A = this chain, B = another copy of it.
Amino acid sequence: MMKSIGIIGAGVAGLHLGLQLRQHGIATTIYTNRTPEEVADGRVMNSVAHMHVTLELEEDLGINHWTEDQYYYTHHYHYNGWGDQRTYQGSFAAPSRTLDYRIYLPRLMEDFTDRGGVIEYRDLGVADIQNLSEIHDLVVVSTGKGEIGAMFPKRADKSPYDRPQRKLAVGFWKGVERCDPNGVAVSVIPGVGELLAIPMWSFSGDVMALLFESVPGGPQEALTDQRYADDPEAYRRLTLNMLRDYHPTVFDRVDHDEFRLQSDKDILQGAFTPVMREDYARLPNGRFLLALGDVHLTMDPVQAQGANSTAYSARVVGDAIVEDDVFDERFMKKVASRRSERLEAANDWINTIIHTPTPPQIPALFSAMVDNQALVDEFTENFNHPIRQIDLLASEERVEAAVNRASA
């Protein structure tokens, strides 16, 4: 049987899935409205880190083209904005990788077409997707806002928020020194929000992605509300002031003469409401669409789980497509069942972290990690293992058990 799969979207979801399907010789078309050149020339999309579980998936796909040390980091450098001792660090069992998606995605698009995948450049609406469902045996929707996303109903049980919990701003800055060993700074300030300082590799080489996660109404939200393009120098000064006032361990690494963006496209400001949607939708013609990636699950980036969850989900979907020939409701439910535990764990973890007011076990955990190396290493490594992470931090009782276990 010759299967034919259509994928809407050429992000990490669509490309990982498409590349896996091509490894199995399955006819696959990806639909997107941006060429590799447009992606490379566009605005920064995120500050994604790929944990080692994701790198293993990429090894399987044969797409880890970035093996030099400069792409990798091994540590989390924590700063708590309270208490006497505020700094501590955790380490990963194996390195994580960061790379500007404007480099990453175009290369994967090239890999995909090199392997016989077809990319069609089109704008698509709901009617187009219905037409595609009759051309392909299965259509997977991995991107699409507005009416396309709305085809998959929001899951009330896993979507606790009706508004953004953080205002976001991420810029790729020159002039912030890397830590040694290389690592991400995790700075947590009650009432203000978080800063993640992520060593990133971009067109200009070494940059620092400063991802400000700002509590709405708090003092840091100006970094989202004040538009960079309106006055780059004012925004630069505002950023320095925020670092000085709230994030001293990162501020101390700034070279003020060098501190700047390389391009107006190196910053992204905005906010969104986290949402988990149903796994699939039935079209009026009786065919099913499968949701993947952002269309299925959109999480706040505060713990770097978006791309890692998506890559995992793409693998589950790819394995199911390879093993099955019938893309009926049973197939949809099978995919939903297989990916639910891990995706829901990541979703619950992130939604616990960003909740206002902060659930009591979160500061308890961060306070306990200050002088408990086993615990902070476990928390760090669990960025690979969202199920273990939500097991660790879902409740006060669970944090207490984790502290006791790590102390033993």
Contact = CB atoms under 8 A, between A and B. Distances in A.
Interface of A: 1, 323-326, 328, 330, 334, 337-338, 340-341, 344, 387-388, 390-391, 394-395, 397-398, 401-402, 404-405, 408
A325 B405 contact: yes
A401 B1 CA distance: 8
A408 B330 contact: no
Contacts of A334: 341, 387, 391
A245 to B, nearest CB: 38
A129 B388 CA distance: 30
Top 3 closest pairs, chain A to chain B, by CB: A325-B401, A337-B341, A326-B398
A394 B330 contact: yes
- Stoichiometry, as copies per complex, reads 2
Nearest to A341: B337
A325 B395 CA distance: 12
A365 to B, nearest CB: 14
17 contacts: A1-B401, A1-B404, A324-B391, A325-B401, A325-B404, A326-B391, A326-B401, A328-B395, A328-B398, A330-B391, A330-B395, A334-B341, A334-B387, A334-B391, A337-B340, A337-B344, A338-B341
Contacts of A388: 323
Contacts of A323: 388, 391
